[in-house]
């Protein structure tokens, strides 16, 4: 028997305190800045805080991670308070909806489904979601357009894979990457800007798919590669400074030699 949302929805007093503080900040006599905020004005901060949560998680710093989760939670509560003031919904409605959704989409835990491995659970989740959204015309209609490009590509690939639209063998995915690289080379050599852009997109999409098939997150992989590049470039800059030189006044040959030395360490 599925457990009701009421039995699962136990809000700790600290959450109620946060909710009350946000309401007071926006009430008459509260904070002028908080009172001026709208859903639209808070969107940049909401996106920024989500990225800061991700960065803190990657850094494995629990104190920072806890702080960033709190910052993101504050924005969720703020959005809900703005909606409550307009008579649209409350934070309790938000919590009840996600609680009911979790119960509804986990029949293998709260119901009679026999799905037991992660793959079966994901397929079941998608089937339930399709049934809930059967008014939508297309399977990928719910794919968020505002996601970062790599993340959106991997999410699209993952969703269609759950309905069996996927390469069966990893070697086929690698072959697709090689095929797209060849097409990109041809476009570049042809000096066709529009075709080059298309082929770069196709190559990136294929590489993201390779990451997915390897059970890796493409966004995280690229973030790690960028972090590594930034760290090495900082060391390059430090070495130039130690030699009494400045960026912009050193040729590529010298910088490349330093770079290769850094990579060997």
Per-residue pLDDT for 193 more than 70?
Answer: yes
pLDDT of 1 strictly over 60: no
pLDDT tens for each residue of 210-261: 999 999 999 999 999 999 999 999 999 999 999 999 999 999 999 999 999 9
Average pLDDT across the chain, whole number: 93
Using 50, 70 and 90 to split pLDDT, how confident is the model at 6? very low
Is residue 130's pLDDT more than 60? yes
Q: Is the pLDDT of residue 23 over 50?
A: yes
- The structure's pTM equals 0.71
pLDDT tens figures, 37-89? 999 999 999 999 999 999 999 899 999 999 999 999 999 999 999 999 999 99
Please determine, for residue 8, whether its predicted confidence score (pLDDT) is greater than 70: no
Identify the residue with better confidence: 175 or 125: 175
Q: What is the pLDDT of residue 12?
A: 58
4 pLDDT band, cuts 50/70/90, is very low
In the prediction, which pLDDT does 219 show? 93
Q: For the residues of the chain, what is the DSSP string, one character each?
A: -PPPHHHH----HHHHHHHHHHHHHHSTTS-HHHHH--HHHHHHHHHHHHHHHHHHHHHT-HHHHHHHHHHHHHHHHHHHHHHHHTTS--HHHHHHHHHHHHHHT-HHHHSS----SHHHHHHHHHHHHHHHTTTSSSGGGGS-TTS-HHHHHHHHHHHHHTTT-S-SSHHHHHHHHHHHHHHHHHHHHTT-HHHHHHHHHHHHHHHHHHHHHTT--HHHHHHHHHHHHHHHHHHHHHHHHHTT--TTSS-HHHHHHHHHHHHH-
């Amino acid at each position: 028997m599925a457990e009701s949302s009421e039995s699962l929805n136990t809000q700790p007093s600290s959450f109620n305190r946060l909710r009350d503080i946000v309401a007071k900040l926006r009430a008459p006599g509260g904070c002028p800045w908080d009172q001026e905020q709208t859903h639209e004005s808070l969107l940049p901060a909401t996106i920024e805080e989500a990225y800061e949560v991700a960065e803190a998680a990657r850094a494995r710093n629990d104190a920072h991670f806890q702080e960033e989760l709190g910052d993101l939670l504050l924005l969720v509560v703020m959005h809900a308070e703005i909606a409550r003031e307009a008579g649209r919904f409350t934070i309790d409605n938000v919590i009840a909806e996600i609680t009911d959704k979790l119960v509804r989409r986990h029949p293998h835990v709260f119901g009679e489904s026999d799905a037991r491995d992660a793959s079966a659970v994901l397929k079941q989740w998608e089937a339930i979601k399709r049934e809930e959204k059967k008014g939508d015309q297309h399977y990928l209609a719910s794919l968020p357009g505002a996601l970062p490009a790599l993340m959106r590509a991997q999410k699209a690939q993952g969703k269609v894979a759950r309905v069996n639209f996927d390469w069966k063998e990893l070697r086929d995915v690698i072959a697709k990457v090689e095929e797209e690289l060849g097409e990109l080379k041809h476009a570049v050599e042809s000096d066709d800007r529009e075709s080059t852009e298309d082929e770069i997109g196709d190559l990136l999409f294929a590489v993201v798919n390779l990451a997915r098939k390897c059970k890796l997150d493409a966004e995280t992989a690229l973030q790690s590669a960028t972090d590594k590049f930034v760290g090495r470039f900082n060391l390059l800059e430090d070495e130039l400074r130690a030699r009494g030189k400045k960026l912009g006044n050193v040729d590529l040959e010298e910088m490349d030699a330093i770079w290769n030395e850094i990579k060997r360490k």
